[in-house]
Structure 1
Amino acid sequence: MARFLSQSLSTGWTFKETRDQAEEAWMPVQSVPSVVHQDLIANKKLEDPFIGFNELKARWVNEKSWTYRNIFQKPAVPAESSIALVFDGLDTFATVKLDGKVILEADNMFLAHRVDVTKALEADGEHVLEIDFDCAMTRAQQLQEQHPEHKWACFNGSGSRLAVRKAQYHWGWDWGPLLMTAGIWRDVHLEAYTARVADLWVDTKLAPDHQSVDITVHADLDVPVSSSCKISFTIRLDGKDVAHAVVAGEKTSKVTFHLDNPSLWWPHGYGGQTLYEVSAAILSETEELHQISKRFGIRTAEVIQQPDKHGKSFFFRINGIDIFCGGSCWIPADSFLPNVTAERYRKWIELMVAGRQTMIRVWGGGIFEDDRFYDVCDELGVLIWQDFMFGCGNYPTWPELLRSIEEEAIYNVRRIRHHPSIAIYAGNNEDYQVQESTGLTYDYEDKCPENWLKTDFPARYIYEKILPDVVNKHGADVFYHPGSPWGDGKKSSDPTVGDIHQWNVWHGTQEKYQIFDTLGGRFNSEFGMEAFPHISTIKYFVENEADLFPQSHVIDFHNKADGHERRIATYLVENLRTATDLETYIYLTQVVQAETMMFGYRGWRRQWGDERHCGGALLWQLNDCWPTISWAIADYFLRPKPAYYAVARVLKPLAVGVRREHHDWSVTHAQPPKTSKFELWVVSSLQKETLGRVELRFISINTGLEIRGSIIHKNIAIVPNGTTNLIVDGLIDHTIYSEPHVLAARLWVDGHIVARDVDWPQPFKYLDLSNRGLEVKKKFESPSGEQILVLSTQKPLKCLVFEERENVKISDSAIDLVPGDEQTVTITGLKADDASLGYKFLGQ
């Protein structure tokens, strides 16, 4: 028997438009994975669609079919070997020919394919591999026309997209361009072997006291029927064997190991991210034929849904510890997926961890992410909410499509099931909302799956039959949720059960962001506010300096949200003194986004301590797929917006909160309140009681002086993993304290300030925030290049935001300052001869 061999087919490719028969039409491909837009750009046949209006110039690419070709030499392999041609991803309608013979027809971007080409490669010498990628847009339209019986309802893009198992955002979304990619978007290679490990996975059963674990290791083998090989299973930790066994090699082989005192995997902030390595090797009498290994973590992950005074809970419990899941939703990090390198994945997740976010939601209109994404979430301790790839639509269910969907689900669940970071699978994104908004039939009490296929909402069969069956069989005990949002068959906006997407700030009724916390549910898996990216990102896609003004045509073109002009204007005019110069306008939109996220997260995290009233909050969205104006809190180039820092402060392990009751100035025709109630509290994610001291100051915005004595709480026993309410019925009499003033709270633990919060009178537009007396002093610069800045002010100052530069990290930004409370900021990555970072603050 021969050893396993793998040969990459990443180079040697050429491509052309399929219909162009001229030999000179072939153009070189630098390497695959790639998609056609990247290859056209490299051959100077296409201008970068991310710049200016070039997306429109690229529309012709969407309407063409493309052919890729590789002429390769048959690999030198032992005579008895099987040879497989392996495609990890083809986008999307692909007809694969080897030496002119069709060997594969693929129509699902989310599947990998293995083709036995042993006989096809019997002849030595050159072989020609060609792949015809048919136009996905045209095929989608044809499929839609072939099924007039289906109701093709959807939000975003064309309804025809629902017929195609391709990343749905390629049809354009309210944050992304319409760029219909095609190509070999994941690796392709040849494999030669006589025996191989086809799959490897583990089941872990952790004892209730966490002092022992049973680990069952499974392997599927591709071996000859007459084989007498053996398989060696090994578990390692930190490079050392902790368990080992050799058993007879069968088609499906397994062994169970018992480990005492296992090291557990935790989300960051709660413990270490221990990853064990499991390997399986096929052994012949003389050598190792094939070996694969995977990393896994030992942990339990539960979604707790129990009746309570608020309805029914929805929160996550990891290793027996309740965890408030503050985090973000994730869209694909590029319109051209092969652009996303391992380094870029790591930087995104590192940004999350630095921002104290514990969960990321892989949104259902993108892709099942690359292995490197899940790997880095494991390593850095970020929990994953994994949607299946259905977004904002009423998906059809003809038999061939259902078979493809089931195959897709099995393949991807099996591919990622060993990752301890995966905490939940959800069947779709907002498809139940489409059902509600378009009046499609949904009788929750009808439990017969075959009946569902006969209704005008047949996709229920996918979410409540196919996908839960796949997860139950292959999903390593991970919880399955039919959709996001979804709540036990009730209306998807029901705040008492399941998760909700709260879009009545920005979309919907456009509520004031100051009341965001009153709009939440048991788990808030989407909510957001748009903001412009930093000026450097705007200048990247704006080609002409004359277009650098807030409402320029090209800037509006790079904001895909319907009605964004009205929505941005509404929130700016209601809250801030508006501006027409671009840099100030950018900053003002960022202030609104930062305040919106703060009001939501701060209030919802406080509710965690009220019988887990709110189990978590995942803002929309962490990232962008191109340089744009969107709800992202960090732009395409990983430049954080101020909201990123605002969220990070609210998610500190210990955070203090202070808030006046909301006074709706628009309803009262801008009459000020006569009195204001206020509240003061501390939240903790620590697992033990902590003693703290809280001070609340009342400081004039106009003079910087305290208008009344401070309120001090000493030796507070801070409730672990919950909320400590200090003041719930405070009252300010504005007939006595008439000056506009801030409420400034600080929390000390062990003599150190660990958290701050400042509550401001609303709206900011009524306040004179000029002449604050800000001082920014450099305390010192370390040999490694770290700069320590000391910030102070003579009068309360709102939202001090530092300039963002590539490879420069800022420990804090979007900072509120009050007199008598210096704050420090650490800046890393600036070189000695670099100019200091610029900054802005409100009213500057």
Structure 2
Amino acid sequence: MVIQKVTEGWKVRSCQTGQCFETKVPGTVYGTWLEHGAMEDPYWRDCEDDALAMMEGEYEYETTLPFCEELMSCRAIRLKFEGIDTLADIYFNGNHLGVADNMHRVWEYPVKSLAAESGGVNTIRVRFHSPLSFIKEAYEKSPYDGSPEAMQGFPLLRKSHCSFGWDWGPRLPDAGLFRPVSLVGVEQAEIRDVWIRQIHREGTVSLSCDIAVESVCDTVCTCELKVTGPKGDTSVSQLQRKNDGFFGGIVIDNPELWWPNGYGSQPLYRVEAVLKANGEIQDIQSRMVGLRTMKVNTGADEYGSRFAHEVNGVEIFAMGADYIPEDCIRGRVNRERTRTLLEHCRDCNFNVIRVWGGGYYPD
């Protein structure tokens, strides 16, 4: 695979005022306007109202990137958006690729036939539409209410619900490319997904994997599973072919089990799926996995029924917190900030984090 990241050269323009700024991707409209001093801090006094009014309008992201010979040599090329917030028309070299309407998924479009020839440039343009207009019109057609603190119609759009206000948060329905954008070239085949399952027996854990593969030609592929333990010991297994990929597994003897904070250590195993064609590696997908069982015990007790977390057969007293989005301006959330937050939780002896459903899938 060949991956050309599209992070540089972006500009974002207000279609109403004509204001245009250089910006970064991942990023958002609010983040860009704040960086250039074009809006007040929406957390200050009643500036939230001005920020909310900004989302009555439309905005365009645009960038150009040079021809990449290695990318163009691939049989297939996809334009991949890992996070679009939320309503947008997508264009590549002036060609309309499709409409995005869900911030909770990845959007991909084939662009090989539309790409510029040698010496040319490729242009990507994303036009964002007003989420406020959408929920207003959707509510008029099908009234549906949710949280009383949020705007009417918010459940009718697949956008982070707290963008429209909540009991703890302001109404800041930002827009933008809040996760990476890239051009992905595939020569023969790629791994599209990996499912890992654990079966625990006395003294062993069986790791079984289903690998979804997509081929762009008639080549014959093979796939192997490689598991590396916490101490560096490695096991390799050749996976069996099935219609849309591969399946198989590895048995781990005397596994090092993962435990919640305060109940033991957290050893991790690296699980790698390696896809090959004609002996050449086409794609590698890697996951870090903790070996553990987990269930909720709802058996009868003297009060009616229990609700007890059990990890590796041991009842855990759950101590933790509810995780909401760290910032209404998503471009300001990064790996370092999230890690610091979780380290603070660990140091406070938390052993559970509940991911709140009105936000978005966290990294």
The answer (yes or no) to whether the contact 2:241–2:247 under 8 Å persists in 1 is no
The answer (yes or no) to whether the contact 1:232–1:282 under 8 Å persists in 2 is yes
Q: How far does residue 201 in structure 1 lie from its aligned partner after superposition?
A: 2.4
Note if 1:333 corresponds to 2:332.
Answer: no
Could you tell me which of 233, 245, 251 is aligned with 1:252? Answer: 245
Distance of 1:206 and 1:230 partners within structure 2: 28
The answer (yes or no) to whether the contact 1:249–1:282 under 8 Å persists in 2 is no
Partner of 1:136: 131
Q: How does 1:212-231 map to 2 (within 5 A)?
A: 212-224=204-216, 226-231=218-223
Partner of 1:111: 105
Could you tell me which of 223, 226, 240 is aligned with 1:234? Answer: 226
Partner of 1:123: 117
Partner of 1:5: 2
Could you tell me which of 14, 19, 41 is aligned with 1:48? Answer: 41
Note if 1:165 corresponds to 2:158.
Answer: yes
Q: How does 1:143-154 map to 2 (within 5 A)?
A: 143-147=138-142, 150-154=143-147
Distance of 2:4 and 2:174 partners within structure 1: 26
Q: How does 1:454-465 map to 2 (within 5 A)?
A: none
Q: 1:248 to 1:357 in 2, by over 3 A?
A: closer
Partner of 2:345: 352
The answer (yes or no) to whether the contact 1:229–1:248 under 8 Å persists in 2 is no
Partner of 1:199: 193
Q: How does 1:331-730 map to 2 (within 5 A)?
A: 331-370=324-363
SS of residue paired to 2:331: helix
Q: Deviations over 1:287-320 (max 9, x none)?
A: 2222121111111100111122212111100000
Distance of 2:290 and 2:350 partners within structure 1: 20
* One-letter amino acid of the structure 2 residue matched with residue 51 of structure 1: W
Distance of 1:180 and 1:247 partners within structure 2: 45
The answer (yes or no) to whether the contact 2:116–2:122 under 8 Å persists in 1 is no
The answer (yes or no) to whether the contact 1:234–1:241 under 8 Å persists in 2 is no
Partner of 1:696: none
The answer (yes or no) to whether the contact 2:146–2:154 under 8 Å persists in 1 is no
Q: How far does residue 270 in structure 1 lie from its aligned partner after superposition?
A: 0.9
Q: How far does residue 284 in structure 1 lie from its aligned partner after superposition?
A: 2.7
Q: How far does residue 247 in structure 1 lie from its aligned partner after superposition?
A: 4.0
Note if 1:320 corresponds to 2:313.
Answer: yes
Distance of 1:267 and 1:221 partners within structure 2: 34
Q: Deviations over 1:256-275 (max 9, x none)?
A: 21121111111011111111
Q: 1:237 to 1:46 in 2, by over 3 A?
A: same
Point out where structure 2 has 5 or more consecutive residues left out of the alignment: none
Partner of 1:81: 75
Distance of 2:361 and 2:73 partners within structure 1: 37
Q: How far does residue 123 in structure 1 lie from its aligned partner after superposition?
A: 2.9
Q: How far does residue 159 in structure 1 lie from its aligned partner after superposition?
A: 2.3
* One-letter amino acid of the structure 2 residue matched with residue 201 of structure 1: W
Q: Deviations over 1:72-117 (max 9, x none)?
A: 1232235342101111110010110112221020111111111111
Q: How far does residue 62 in structure 1 lie from its aligned partner after superposition?
A: 2.3
Of residues 225-234 and 360-369 in structure 1, the stretch that sits farther from structure 2 once superposed is 225-234
Distance of 2:111 and 2:214 partners within structure 1: 16
Q: 1:174 to 1:12 in 2, by over 3 A?
A: same
Distance of 2:97 and 2:292 partners within structure 1: 43
Note if 1:102 corresponds to 2:99.
Answer: no
* One-letter amino acid of the structure 1 residue matched with residue 198 of structure 2: T
* One-letter amino acid of the structure 2 residue matched with residue 14 of structure 1: K
Q: How far does residue 129 in structure 1 lie from its aligned partner after superposition?
A: 1.0
TM-score by length of 1: 0.41
Q: 1:152 to 1:55 in 2, by over 3 A?
A: closer
Identity across the alignment (%): 26
Distance of 1:224 and 1:58 partners within structure 2: 45
Distance of 1:368 and 1:18 partners within structure 2: 29
Could you tell me which of 267, 278, 283 is aligned with 1:290? Answer: 283
SS of residue paired to 2:53: helix
Structure with larger Rg = 1
Partner of 2:182: 189
Distance of 1:242 and 1:43 partners within structure 2: 50
Q: How far does residue 241 in structure 1 lie from its aligned partner after superposition?
A: 4.2
Partner of 1:156: 149
* One-letter amino acid of the structure 1 residue matched with residue 123 of structure 2: V
Higher RCO, 1 vs 2 (CA within 8 Å, ≥6 residues apart): 2
SS of residue paired to 2:267: coil
Q: Deviations over 1:813-836 (max 9, x none)?
A: xxxxxxxxxxxxxxxxxxxxxxxx
Q: Deviations over 1:236-265 (max 9, x none)?
A: 013634320234665320112112111111
Distance of 1:352 and 1:159 partners within structure 2: 34
Q: How far does residue 214 in structure 1 lie from its aligned partner after superposition?
A: 1.1
Partner of 1:63: 56
Q: 1:224 to 1:53 in 2, by over 3 A?
A: closer
Distance of 1:35 and 1:235 partners within structure 2: 38
Distance of 1:127 and 1:185 partners within structure 2: 21
Note if 1:299 corresponds to 2:292.
Answer: yes
SS of residue paired to 1:16: strand
Distance of 1:359 and 1:119 partners within structure 2: 48
SS of residue paired to 1:325: coil
The answer (yes or no) to whether the contact 2:75–2:216 under 8 Å persists in 1 is no
Note if 1:92 corresponds to 2:86.
Answer: yes
Q: Deviations over 1:44-92 (max 9, x none)?
A: 2112222343323323212111111011123223534210111111001
Q: Deviations over 1:593-651 (max 9, x none)?
A: xxxxxxxxxxxxxxxxxxxxxxxxxxxxxxxxxxxxxxxxxxxxxxxxxxxxxxxxxxx
Note if 1:271 corresponds to 2:268.
Answer: no
Q: 1:122 to 1:108 in 2, by over 3 A?
A: same
Q: 1:260 to 1:239 in 2, by over 3 A?
A: closer
- The number of equivalent residue pairs is 359
Distance of 2:165 and 2:352 partners within structure 1: 26
The answer (yes or no) to whether the contact 2:240–2:247 under 8 Å persists in 1 is no
Partner of 1:610: none
Partner of 1:607: none
Distance of 2:239 and 2:199 partners within structure 1: 21
Q: 1:78 to 1:247 in 2, by over 3 A?
A: farther
Q: 1:123 to 1:254 in 2, by over 3 A?
A: same
Distance of 1:298 and 1:32 partners within structure 2: 36
Q: Deviations over 1:725-755 (max 9, x none)?
A: xxxxxxxxxxxxxxxxxxxxxxxxxxxxxxx
Structural RMSD (CA): 1.7
Point out where structure 1 has 5 or more consecutive residues left out of the alignment: 371-844
Note if 1:243 corresponds to 2:235.
Answer: yes
Q: How far does residue 334 in structure 1 lie from its aligned partner after superposition?
A: 0.5
Q: Which has the higher helix share?
A: 1
SS of residue paired to 1:240: coil
SS of residue paired to 1:172: coil
| Displaced runs of 4 or more, over 2 A | 50-60, 77-81, 150-155, 238-242, 246-251, 284-287
Distance of 2:240 and 2:259 partners within structure 1: 35
Q: Which has the higher strand share?
A: 2
Distance of 2:279 and 2:44 partners within structure 1: 59
Distance of 1:212 and 1:248 partners within structure 2: 22
Q: Deviations over 1:390-448 (max 9, x none)?
A: xxxxxxxxxxxxxxxxxxxxxxxxxxxxxxxxxxxxxxxxxxxxxxxxxxxxxxxxxxx
Distance of 2:231 and 2:286 partners within structure 1: 13
